[in-house]
Amino acid sequence: MSVADIKYHKLIDDILNEGYYDQNRTGMATYKLPHQIMQFDLQKEFPIITTKFVAFKTAVKELLWIFKDQSNDVLALQAQNVHIWDEWMMEDGTIGTSYGFVVEKFKQIDELINTLKNNPQDRRMMINLWQIPYLNTGALHPCCFLTMWDVTDGRLNCMLVQRSGDAGLGIPFNTCQYAVLVHLIAQAVGLKPGLFTHVINNAHIYENHVEGLKLQLTRINDAYDAPKLWINPEINNFYEFTPEDIKLIDYKYHEKIQMEVAI
């Protein structure tokens, strides 16, 4: 089985057994644990769970929309048959000053790539989507809001900080999504991918996801090995990557478990 399956199943089991039960802004109560951490060595394995289907292509398309296209245009995602932002789309067809908007506003990818190439031991390398003047004019405060970057011995390491993590739906999606980002940035600057550390401040399970996740936990002994990530080796410019340049090889998984998104 994959390392991601082992660590994710432990997270789910811990939240179900030790989580604090309370209400939140969505109206659907959760069980939550603070300060949860999963770490993966991307040289050894790509972190995607196999005990249920994770929409990898959708994750890649959203990732490129935020960091390559630096877009807030929901219609552009819909044109790619991605509808994860439909519920938050504003009257102008965008998500306002969220996510890609602040990446472009402060040229954050350009700054990161330039620093990695020219001053890789800089200790201030980060992409921060939590830009206070733009929070309330966006459709949603960013959940995965901060990445911090490090170069050690030719390997690119990344720590993702997520303020709020829906363990049933969001966390598996975000883990593999940001692992892809590390691979893409590493290839663009001539480094090997290294450690990817996913820190979740509030890791929670919605009450209406409990039964689905209990079912998923029964699949752990039948989990599959991790797939291989393939990235087009001909591309060294981050802004030239397309979804077709990023693929999983031999991704085997158990069937999808239906869970509703809490708005």
List, by residue number, the catalytic residues.
Answer: 143
Residue 254 and residue 220: Cα distance in Å, rounded? 10
Integer angstrom CA distances of residue 127 from 30, 62, 77, 78: 29, 16, 22, 26
Q: Where are the beta strands (DSSP E) in the chain?
A: 20-22, 30-41, 126-128, 144-152, 155-162, 165-166, 192-206, 228-231, 246-249
Contacts of 25 (CB under 8 A, 6+ apart): none
Q: Which stretches of 141-260 are DSSP H helices?
A: 170-189, 210-217
- Can you state the percent helix, strand and coil of the chain, rounding each to 5? 35, 25, 40
What contacts 38, CB < 8 A, 6 or more positions away?
Answer: 4, 7, 8, 11, 47, 175, 197, 198
d(CA 203, CA 36): 7
- Beta-carbon neighbour count of residue 152 at 10 Å? 12
Is residue 147 within 8 Å of residue 173, measured between CB atoms?
no
Terminal C-alpha separation, the chain? 33
CA distances from 225 to 2, 5, 35, 51, 170 (A): 5, 9, 28, 10, 21
